[in-house]
């Protein structure tokens, strides 16, 4: 018996070779922090690149037109703190079962670029690359853990597995995808983790992302912010509360000192690093994050974090203007990781585009402890385009009505 399969007919009666643009996203509110655009515009794509951003680009110039009226059109979202070293079969660690395959989670949440936050180290990065990075349709970049075994193969408390030279050499070999170095979870005395990562960072002129682990008499925020980290380094989990980010109801002065020195502060929500009783007092005192990220793993995605648009919605409902929320998930992380070709809609840039709706109503947002904050706006990913190709379409914005759709008849597969 023959089967019917769908074939899409593109555009306005134009064949592919006759169209000036492959895709036209029409009539959406474009927010692009790099260019300063914040208004209703059209975005045209050709050859996988942004070809033009302007008002009233003719539909007849495009092979395919997507109406974004009433929606927000942004650069593809960048989630700069995820754990995606999946597939190793190692039980109960981030270098295994706690990680998430990138393509299974990225596009449906508006994300086109993920940055793995130190799940692998110098001794297993190449396995991570061939197993995940090179197979993913999502753009996957990485912070390399200063611990050679990454997050789980060996102990992150073992200074003997912290080799700055090996980390720098691996970053040199894979400079196309390694964007910096990561430290996490260290709970002993001294600074071997931070010192090693900074040494590797200096060798490669790359930033360090710090999940500070545990504080003690010697290791504290003051020492980290004023003596150890450099301008351009990144402090993730900024509303975690576990490292005295909030002291007696006041933002720790060390956090302010770090910001003045040029250190970036990232949300990194995760399963245990974002709490309303920390975040709300800090933002009410003016301490907003520099970038918004998820700390995605199998635990956080099924708890309060959920996904990047949910975390963005939390920051929006805390009072940050929408255009700033979008900037902190696009252009801001692109700058922090030194990939300024990403996170923007400039002509000639790769055509990574996200279309968002901002729904109004009554919503509840849950933190890492399970406490709820009521809000009235929810950001939802409606359409995700990667290199000019639609990868996610929640409501069929790019689809053809079935009565106008042409189905092609073919014999069944044998």
Question: Could you report the per-residue pLDDT of 364-374, keeping only the tens digit for each?
Answer: 999 999 999 99
Decide if pLDDT at 10 tops 90. Answer: no
What lies within 8 Å, CB to CB, of 101 at 6+ separation is 84, 86, 87, 132, 136
**What is the C-alpha to C-alpha distance for residues 295 and 408, in angstroms, rounded to an integer?**
44
Q: 201-221, pLDDT tens digit by residue? A: 999 999 999 999 888 888 999
**What is the C-alpha to C-alpha distance for residues 147 and 149, in angstroms, rounded to an integer?**
6
Q: What angle do the packed helices 164-173 and 192-204 form, to 10 degrees?
A: 40
Q: By the 8 A CB rule, do 106 and 61 touch?
A: no
> What pLDDT was estimated at residue 411?
76
Decide if pLDDT at 16 tops 90. Answer: no
Confidence of residue 154 (pLDDT cuts 50, 70, 90): confident
| Extended strands (E) in 146-279 | 178-184, 208-211, 234-235, 246-247, 250-251, 264-265
Q: 76-92, pLDDT tens digit by residue? A: 999 999 999 999 999 99
312 sits in which H/E element: helix 308-317
Decide if pLDDT at 4 tops 80. Answer: no
Compute the Cα dihedral for 155, 158, 160, 161 and give only its sign. Answer: positive
Region 397-406 average pLDDT? 94
Q: 88-147, pLDDT tens digit by residue? A: 999 999 999 999 999 999 999 999 999 999 999 999 999 999 999 999 999 999 999 999
Region 171-183 average pLDDT? 98
DSSP string, 27-87: EEEEEETTTTEEEEEEEEEETTEEEEEES---GGGBSSEEE-TTSEEEEPEEEEEE-----
Q: H helices then E strands: how many in the chain?
A: 9, 19
**What is the C-alpha to C-alpha distance for residues 323 and 375, in angstroms, rounded to an integer?**
18
**Alpha helical stretches, state H, 89-146:** 125-131
- The residues with which 24 forms a beta bridge, in sequence order, are 44, 65
DSSP string, 233-272: -EE--TT--TT-SEETTEE-HHHHHHHHTT-EEB---TTT
> What pLDDT was estimated at residue 17?
52
Q: Count of residues for the chain?
A: 414
**What is the C-alpha to C-alpha distance for residues 44 and 41, in angstroms, rounded to an integer?**
10
> What pLDDT was estimated at residue 401?
94
Region 56-67 average pLDDT? 97
Mean pLDDT over all residues of the chain?
A: 94
What lies within 8 Å, CB to CB, of 102 at 6+ separation is 82, 84, 114, 132, 136, 138, 140
389-393 and 37-46 beta bridge pairing = unpaired
Give the tokens for residue 335. 């700058």
**What is the C-alpha to C-alpha distance for residues 268 and 270, in angstroms, rounded to an integer?**
6
Compute the Cα dihedral for 319, 323, 324, 327 and give only its sign. Answer: positive
> What pLDDT was estimated at residue 155?
86
Report domain 76-336's class: alpha beta
Report phi then psi at 276, rounded to 5. -60, -35
**What is the C-alpha to C-alpha distance for residues 97 and 99, in angstroms, rounded to an integer?**
5
For the chain, percent of residues with pLDDT exceeding 90: 91
Give the tokens for residue 196. 């090693």
For the chain, percent of residues with pLDDT exceeding 70: 95
Pick the range with the lowest mean pLDDT from 131-140, 184-193, 332-341, 366-375.
Answer: 184-193
**Burial group, residue 50, by CB count within 10 angstroms (0-12, 13-18, 19+):** buried
> What pLDDT was estimated at residue 215?
86
> What pLDDT was estimated at residue 12?
43
Q: 255-310, pLDDT tens digit by residue? A: 999 999 999 999 999 999 999 999 999 999 999 999 999 999 999 999 999 999 99
- The residues with which 309 forms a beta bridge, in sequence order, are none
- The residues with which 377 forms a beta bridge, in sequence order, are 360
């Amino acid at each position: 018996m023959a089967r019917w399969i769908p074939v899409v007919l593109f555009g306005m009666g134009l064949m592919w070779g006759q169209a000036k643009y492959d895709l036209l996203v029409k009539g959406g509110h474009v927010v692009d922090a790099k260019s300063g655009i914040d208004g209703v515009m059209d975005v045209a794509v050709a050859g996988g690149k942004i070809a033009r951003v302007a008002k009233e680009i003719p539909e007849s110039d495009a092979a395919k037109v997507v109406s974004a009226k009433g929606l927000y059109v942004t650069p593809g979202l960048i989630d700069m703190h995820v754990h995606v070293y999946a597939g190793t079969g190692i039980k109960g660690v981030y270098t295994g079962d706690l990680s998430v395959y990138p393509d299974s989670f990225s596009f449906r949440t508006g994300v086109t670029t993920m940055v793995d936050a130190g799940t692998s180290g110098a001794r297993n990065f190449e396995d991570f690359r061939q197993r995940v990075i090179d197979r993913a349709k999502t753009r996957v970049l990485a912070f390399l853990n200063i611990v050679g075994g990454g997050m789980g193969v060996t102990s992150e408390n073992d200074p003997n597995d912290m080799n700055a030279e090996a980390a720098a050499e691996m970053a040199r070999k894979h400079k196309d995808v390694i964007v910096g170095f990561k430290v996490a979870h260290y709970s002993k005395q001294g600074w071997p983790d931070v010192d090693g990562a900074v040494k590797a960072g200096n060798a490669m002129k790359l930033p360090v992302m710090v999940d500070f682990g545990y504080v003690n008499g010697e290791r504290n925020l003051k020492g980290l912010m004023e003596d150890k980290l450099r301008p351009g380094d990144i402090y993730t989990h900024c509303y975690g509360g576990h490292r005295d980010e909030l002291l007696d109801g006041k933002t720790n002065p060390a956090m302010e000192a770090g910001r003045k020195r040029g250190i970036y502060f990232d949300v990194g929500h995760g399963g245990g690093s974002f709490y309303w009783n920390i975040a709300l007092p800090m933002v009410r005192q003016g301490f907003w994050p520099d970038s918004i990220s998820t700390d995605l793993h199998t635990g956080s995605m099924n708890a309060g974090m959920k996904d990047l648009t949910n975390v963005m919605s939390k920051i929006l409902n805390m009072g940050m203007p929408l255009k700033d929320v979008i900037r902190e998930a696009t252009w801001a992380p692109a700058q922090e990781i030194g990939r300024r070709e990403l996170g923007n809609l400039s002509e000639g840039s790769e055509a990574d585009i996200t279309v968002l709706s901002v729904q109004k109503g009554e919503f509840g947002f849950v933190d890492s402890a399970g406490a709820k904050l009521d809000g009235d706006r929810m950001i939802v990913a409606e359409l995700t385009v990667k290199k000019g190709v639609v990868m996610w379409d929640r409501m069929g914005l790019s689809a053809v009505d079935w009565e106008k759709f042409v189905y092609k008849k073919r014999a069944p597969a044998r």
